[in-house]
Structure formats: structure tokens, C-alpha cells
Structure 1
Amino acid sequence: MFVTARDGTRLHVEEAGSGTPILFIHEFGGNHLSWEPQLTHFARNHRVITYAARGYPPSDVPEDIERYSQRIAAEDAVDVLDGLGIDKAHIVGLSMGGFATLHVGLIAPERCLSLTVAGAGYGCEKETEEYFRQVSLNVADNFEKQGSEAFAKVYALGASRVQFQNKDPRGWQAFADRLATHSSLGAAMTMRGVQARRPSYYDLEAELKEMMVPTLVMVGDEDDHCLKPGLFLKRVLPAAGLAILPKTGHTLNLEEPIFFNLLLADFLAQVEAGRWGERDPRANPAQIMRTD
């Protein structure tokens, strides 16, 4: 089915199951099909929903760069909930989808039962922020000039993707094959409009400190440019927990689906039981040992 976003862009949506809703938002290198290990697992007890982001067929591929931004990506997630008549949902995102998830928590916290921000942080580190923007623009040019089928062979072998290939060559090949089918225009526009222009977490510190939605941050320990941003989110978000997956790269939900699902299931259960709250004020990070 399709949901129409507030600017008229049609977004392809798929859902299964019944119960408390979970909305899954995919990464740049994936699409709505990337969440299959999670959809099949969580549909047993939840209403699971995923969608293809704008620029990812069968969703529309706008040709205007101004129809792509971090704000629009977050609004699209809210529009999907609206289109399905869902008041509140658990929101789960990977990488680009993790950024969108966090921003849904900032612009519409009343729509979020919880947030899961996985493998998100590229471009946040201040020392590499400008470099990341330039690389994003280079990647956009490569998708546009070479086409997705050709450039996917390069992009799929990034420094934080090879862990997936080493552990699960068949799963990684399916990921790379999907990437090769992406719209070259959509990939380029997404890189230029969303990735290259999104704000760093560090620039949002004041807003993040006020965001009370229960949040699980997940990071692979070999996803180097997400580690420090993940620790930053743990430090500033009042109700955040941090899970670091060992010997793991960027594509968390596909690379370690069992581990990912277990962590997510436990988190959702704690949230739904009212057991995932703010950090106990007695757990003062400035204290090393109590002396009195």
C-alpha cells in the first residue's frame, strides 16, 4: 500500500501482525526489505510496519533536492503513522533510519512509545564533520554517474560492511544485490539532501537533554564512527541505554539478527512494563567511589 506524505510524495508501506505497533526505518544502503529478519520475528506479537523512504522505489523519487532533508525524513515517519491511523508506536531505525528515529523523538515525542537508534552517528564527530559532508557528496556523484548497479560493488565493501561479508557471505550478497537495484537518482538526492546536510548530535545537545522518550542505542564495536556518537547519546539522553555488539560493523540488524532481536525484544518488554526510566540520580558519573 501507499501513504501520502504531507508534500504529496507517495511512500510504499508494508505491514504484518497485530498488537502494539513497531515502525522500522531503513538505512541508506538498505530499503524496506532490509528489515525482514525483524518483521518475521516481531510480527508474532506486534503490528510491524516498514516503508521505503522517499527516493527508494516503489516510493516516489522526487527530483527536487529541497524535498530531501533530515526534517522531512522525520516527518515522513510521522506521516506513515498518520496514514495508518496509528497514534503511538515504537520507532526503530538503522543508520540513516536511526537519525530519522531520533529526530521523530525530537519533533513528535508524543507519537513515540520508544526509540531504538542503531548504527547511527556518521558525520557527527566534529573532527570529521566536514570530511563526511564531502565524502557524502562524492558518493552522491558516484551513484549518479556510475549508476547503482556499478557503484554498489564499491559501497557494499565499506570498512564497516566487511564484517557482515566475513560472517555471512550469503546475507551480505543479498544486501549488495538489493543496493544495486536502488534508484541512482534517489540515492544521489538522499546523500545530498539528507546525509550531507543533517545536523550533528553535538549541535542538538540542549534538545536531546530534554527528550524523555525511552531510547535504546545500539552500536557495533567495529563501526568506528558511530561509537563516540553512541556514547554521547547515552550521556545526554535522560532515558537511554547503550548496547555495543562485539566484532560487529554497521549493518547490525542483518549482521547479528538474533542478537539484535533479543536486545530489541528485551528493551520493548521493559518499556511496555514501565521499567525503562531515567537514569537513577544516585548513579552520578562524576563519582568514582562513595566515601561517605
Structure 2
Amino acid sequence: MTAPVEGLHRYGVGEPLVLLHGASMSWRAWRPVLDELERHHDVIALTMNGHRGGDPWPDGVRVGVPELADSVCARLDALGVERAHVAGNSLGGWVALELVRRGRALSCVALSPAGTWKRPRDLWRLVQVFRLAAELGGLHAVRRAAVRPRWRHVLLRQVMEHGERVPDHDVEGFFDDLAGATMIGPLLAGARPEDALADFDDLPCPVRVAWAEHDHVVPWARYGAPMLRSVRGADFVRLPGCGHVPMWDDPELVARAVLQVTSPA
């Protein structure tokens, strides 16, 4: 089954698996792993509200992670999906964990999820990183340079180890996604230390937190280690050789990390 909608990719057979992208991205971030995941699951890759191709952010609604989770739940309701396996990267990983809290997840795999930090200054650092990325992504000179694989590797080094592996059309889409993420500004402006991921009393389903070894956006020491306390009982693993958005760095490894949880042998 497939849906020719800009903000939704759906294809495959089996139990539903919802894929949630990171901030300033779209469902297209999952392209490298779709074929493998679709052999095992009815894959539903969503573009979240306020991102390019997704629904616009509703007027008068606070821009925050709980509200993003609300919108994903509403989207699943519209698709007739009560519960599903969920996998998310970065901001999408945080939202995926919130779906666990709401009882909507059969299982969860969070890839370098946002949501925790050691100190308030670590949150402010993260806000500045995303603001700088938005500014650089809007420069035409940066887009032109990214056409060349060598420069593509350098320009995408913050988010992945092997930017040169991203095809030309996906690099163009990467920058289009960055420019089209209208909710990022308000999300960053409203970021508060007290809004961190709340601790789980227990986990109602299997949860894996997979951290990229070379994550320059949310490095483990500052952002991953605190999650050990917040998501007690989760399976914590490392993704060797990968950056913050690991799907392009090692698609086979990422697909395996997900399927080991969603479709264990």
C-alpha cells in the first residue's frame, strides 16, 4: 500500500512501523532504509507538522514536543492506526518516546533522541547549533558548494559522517527541508530547561535507544548519559561509525537496529 502524498510515505506489509524524522527534516530522511524496513512492516514515514510537506502548524497552538506528539497521534487516528512500532531520530526520537508514554507504541527505537541534557547551558548550546544551521542552510553559496561530493562531506559533517554518500537530489531536498521548517524558530525560541523529557515510571513496551558514535549535535556525554536515568529499562546501544542522522552513514546497521526490536527472530 502506498500513499502519493507529499508529507507521507506509506508502503510495505506487516505490522505498522511509524518513522519520525529530526528537526528541519522530512520523511525523506528515511529513504536509505525504507526498502529493508518495508520487507517486514507496513512503513508509515510521516512529515511532522510545521516541516516541509507536512501540515502547517495550527494557529494559536504552542510549539512544543507534546503538541508535536498530539499531531502525530491525530495523524495516526486519521490513518486508522491505533498502535504501531515507532522509530524516530533526534527530535523524532523524542516524539517517539512520547508516543510510548501515551500507549500508542508496540515498540520504540530512538536514534540519538533529543530530550535530555546535563545542564541548562547544554540546552542553550543545542538551540544555537540549530539556529546556526538554519542560517547557513539559507545561503545560496552553501547550496552551490554542496553539489560537489567533497564539499558535501564537509558541509554535512555536523549531522553525518559520510555526507558524500547522499545523492544530489536528496542534498537539494535536505536544504529545501531546512528552509521549509517553519516551526523551528518558535520551537527554539520557546525552549526551556524544565521541558526536558519526563522520567518514565515504567516502560509499557520494548524501547531501544541507539546513540550515534560520532554525534556532534547531541554528543553522548552531554545528552545521552542523562537519558539513562529518564528511560530506565531501555536497551541502550551504540551505532559505530555514524553521525547524528545515521541513516545515510550506515543504512544496513540502522535497519538492523530497528528490526531487532520490531521483528525479533
- The normalised TM-score by structure 1 is 0.73
Aligned to 1:124: 117
Aligned to 2:95: 100
Aligned mate of 1:214, from 203, 206, 221? 206
How many residue pairs get aligned? The number is 255
Whether 2:67 is the aligned partner of 1:72: answer: yes
Q: Which runs of 5+ in 2 are unaligned?
A: none
Aligned mate of 2:238, from 228, 239, 244? 244
**Deviation sequence 1:70-115 (CA, Å, 0-9, x none):** 1221112212211111111011001121121122223x1x211111
Residue 203 to residue 35, structure 1, CA distance change in 2 (3 Å): closer
Aligned to 2:36: 41
Q: C-alpha separation between the residues in 2 aligned to 1:117 and 1:88?
A: 17
Paired amino acid for 1:121: A
Paired amino acid for 2:166: G
Paired residues of 1:15 and 1:49 also in contact (CA < 8 A): yes
Task: Quote the offset at 1:138 in angstroms.
Answer: 4.6
Secondary structure of the corresponding residue to residue 182 of structure 1: helix
**Which runs of structure 1 show a deviation greater than 6 angstroms over 4 or more consecutive aligned residues?**
none
**Deviation sequence 1:48-69 (CA, Å, 0-9, x none):** 1011222333323348584632
Paired residues of 1:234 and 1:241 also in contact (CA < 8 A): no
Aligned to 2:162: 164
Aligned to 1:261: 255
Q: C-alpha separation between the residues in 2 aligned to 1:37 and 1:235?
A: 32
Whether 2:127 is the aligned partner of 1:133: answer: yes
Residue 223 to residue 70, structure 1, CA distance change in 2 (3 Å): same
Aligned to 1:84: 79
Q: C-alpha separation between the residues in 2 aligned to 1:196 and 1:158?
A: 24
Residue 139 to residue 253, structure 1, CA distance change in 2 (3 Å): closer
Paired residues of 1:124 and 1:201 also in contact (CA < 8 A): no
Whether 2:192 is the aligned partner of 1:194: answer: no
Q: C-alpha separation between the residues in 2 aligned to 1:99 and 1:148?
A: 33
Whether 2:21 is the aligned partner of 1:15: answer: no
Task: Quote the offset at 1:44 in angstroms.
Answer: 1.6
Q: C-alpha separation between the residues in 2 aligned to 1:47 and 1:264?
A: 14
Paired amino acid for 2:260: D
- The normalised TM-score by structure 2 is 0.79
Residue 151 to residue 76, structure 1, CA distance change in 2 (3 Å): farther
Q: Which has the higher helix share?
A: 1
Q: C-alpha separation between the residues in 1 aligned to 2:178 and 2:215?
A: 26
| Structure number with higher relative contact order (C-alpha < 8 Å, ≥ 6 residues apart) | 2
Q: Which of the two has higher C-alpha Rg?
A: 1
Task: Quote the offset at 1:245 in angstroms.
Answer: 1.7
